[in-house]
Structure 1
Amino acid sequence: MTGIFPSNEDMVVEILLRLPAKSLTRFKLVCKHWLSLISAQQFCYLHTLRHPKPQPSLILRTHTSHYFYFNPVPNNHKLIPYSFTIPNSKILNSCNGLLLLQSVHPVEYHVYNSTTKQSRKISLADNSEDFTNVMGLTLAFDPSKSPHYKIVCVRAKMKPPSAHERHCRIEVYNSQSLTWRLCLEPLVAPIGANFSSGVHCNNVIHWDNYPRAHLYYNISKNVIGNLPHARVPWHGGGGGAASHCQLQESDGRLYHFIIVSHLGDKSIAVYELQEDYSQWLLKYHDEVGRLPGRSRIFGYIKGDEGQTCTMITHVPGKITLYSFLDKRSEELVDLTNQPFYREDSVQFDSRDVFQFGETLAPV
């Protein structure tokens, strides 16, 4: 089979490196030589660096803990049942094609590549200083800069020192050295601080704690801080209140979404964080009228300026695509016939939506 290619193996490798990850998983079946080439760790590293931003799709988790794969790009939108090779697992978070899973009975953590089905068990660092309460783990992976990933773990003492604060510390796992390191002296965090849904962007982990100040940890600089507050826009000049807020990374920038409610009408505000972390810039604020029941934001697709800029949203019974440029809303999926559908209730929460992209990145 390899005889149809030039004898120069470097040329064969160069051709294979240009192909998408999903195609390469099938090409492993062509012959043993291709299986060896494509499975080699060095090839996987090179392919990952060559394809740092895979086409994003979504993995959704229902309130019944069932998972579905959803691609918002093709015309034929379907929810496809999704499962892992690691049993009894749930997704903690995702980052550029890799998933961080937690399994139960016993509790274990795995970094999982859904494209290659490879996984690595991650054992937490030994803890002998009473920081036994795991508050959250977040995956940090940027294949445009490195084929290696990190995991940020926030731990707290089981007994808070007061009713308003708790003592925490941050540990970071490095997949290159396969070791944990303690990164900061114990820090004081508000008792209600949420570290379970971190968002990675440019080697910084951001935690959504609205209406409290959002926290962040800069892995490179080893510093923790507060994000600036985003001013909630007035709805139609007549007031309004934030009914839903969340953070998301898109194309290397951090975005903050706020759904504003006023007398039954709703609007969506999209902010972009300045690179120096000084302020949020309001990018869009569109009035979308009355939405049935609660509403959730699944994802933000930032395209070229003036060409495309869309948001995937969810209201009870449907998944929709909203365009900020032409103010058009399009229904993508009708959920009313799904077994998990519940009338007047969202079927997926924003914290149960995970971005996914195909990658050969080794774990």
Structure 2
Amino acid sequence: MKLAFDPWKSPNYKVICIRLSDEVFPDDQHYQVEIYSSEFKKWRVVGSPFLARYDIGFRCTGVYWNGSIYWECGDNSLRFNVEQEMFAKFPMPNINESRVAYYGESSGYLHLVQVHSRQKLTFYNIYEMNSDDTEWYMKYQVNVEDVVNTFPHMIRHYHDPTDRNYLAMSVLCVVRGEKEEEAFMILHIPKMVIRYNLRDNTFYKLYEFGNNSIEENQFEDEDEDYEVPISLQFDRFSAFQYVESLFCM
């Protein structure tokens, strides 16, 4: 399920549902699109069942931007134009040994964050999509090694330093400020959330979780090997900025 809503353009919204097709296709994974319109207050089936890779990530990924919903999955990334109700492929940066650490929208810009899969785990490449959604370009390159040195309890000593899970850290979102120099990245590490400024590479603790969120003694010994609680896994999360509607519903 993905919400297509732009309060600057209309008080109405659409919900885009991508589900497994009810029809039986031998040896293939087919999906079906259904759309709910708040204007007409009903669901409808759109188009015929279509084939997509099993790892496209319809369940947990997808970003609404520039009138389309974008799902990233390597070279097979897809976008769905909500008005035209059509799928199309869109380009992705050359991932090589990297993995996608974050994918989202901020202030009208689509961002993608890459981190090396096995080495240089503190290096982030932050891409921005052109306004005509034809090409990504490198916007920022940052090294958050200072964050790791300041908060070493994020290091998972029971993993090899080249393992992608060596650092208990995830990118919650990239935020474009009113001015370009105000751009920052939000990082989630054990016990706290960090704001990392992309222009001057400074950072500070934005929020610290209380005793009710995490057992304090879980991280008291920075050198002690520990397992991150199931409720606090550091992989990929979706974070959404609050947008106040301009309309009275």
Same topology, TM > 0.5: yes
The residue that corresponds to 1:271 in the other structure is 127
After superposition, the C-alpha distances for 1:274-310 in whole angstroms (9 at most, x for unaligned) are: 2232211110011222733221111221124553111
Alignment partner of 1:258 is 2:121 = no
Count of equivalent residues: 218
Instruction: Report the Cα offset of residue 181 of structure 1.
Output: 2.9
Counterpart residue identity of residue 174, structure 1: S
The residue that corresponds to 1:226 in the other structure is 89
Structure 1 pair 339–191 and aligned structure 2 pair: CA distance change class (3 A): closer
The residue that corresponds to 1:353 in the other structure is 239
Task: Pick from 196, 203, 206 the counterpart of residue 322 of structure 1.
Answer: 196
The residue that corresponds to 1:50 in the other structure is none
Alignment partner of 1:161 is 2:25 = yes
Counterpart residue identity of residue 154, structure 1: I
Counterpart residue identity of residue 286, structure 1: V
Q: Do the aligned residues in 2 keep the contact of 1:284 with 1:324 (CA within 8 Å)? A: yes
SS of the equivalent of 1:356 reads: coil
The residue that corresponds to 2:98 in the other structure is 242
TM-score, reference length from structure 2 = 0.75
SS of the equivalent of 2:56 reads: coil
Instruction: Report the Cα offset of residue 351 of structure 1.
Output: 2.8
RMSD: 2.7
Instruction: Report the Cα offset of residue 158 of structure 1.
Output: 5.4
Q: Do the aligned residues in 2 keep the contact of 1:208 with 1:246 (CA within 8 Å)? A: no
SS of the equivalent of 1:192 reads: coil
SS of the equivalent of 2:237 reads: helix
What 5-or-longer segments of structure 2 have no aligned partner?
149-153, 155-166, 220-225
Looking at structure 2, the residues matched to 274 and 306 of structure 1 have their Cα atoms a distance apart, in angstroms, of 16
Counterpart residue identity of residue 353, structure 1: A
Q: Do the aligned residues in 1 keep the contact of 2:100 with 2:112 (CA within 8 Å)? A: no
Looking at structure 1, the residues matched to 244 and 213 of structure 2 have their Cα atoms a distance apart, in angstroms, of 28
TM-score, reference length from structure 1 = 0.53
Alignment partner of 1:144 is 2:30 = no
Instruction: Report the Cα offset of residue 194 of structure 1.
Output: 1.5
The residue that corresponds to 1:182 in the other structure is 45
Looking at structure 1, the residues matched to 47 and 5 of structure 2 have their Cα atoms a distance apart, in angstroms, of 21
Looking at structure 2, the residues matched to 190 and 359 of structure 1 have their Cα atoms a distance apart, in angstroms, of 36
Instruction: Report the Cα offset of residue 223 of structure 1.
Output: 1.4
Structure with the higher fraction of residues in helix conformation = 1
The residue that corresponds to 1:7 in the other structure is none
What 5-or-longer segments of structure 1 have no aligned partner?
1-136, 233-239
Percent identity at matched positions?
25
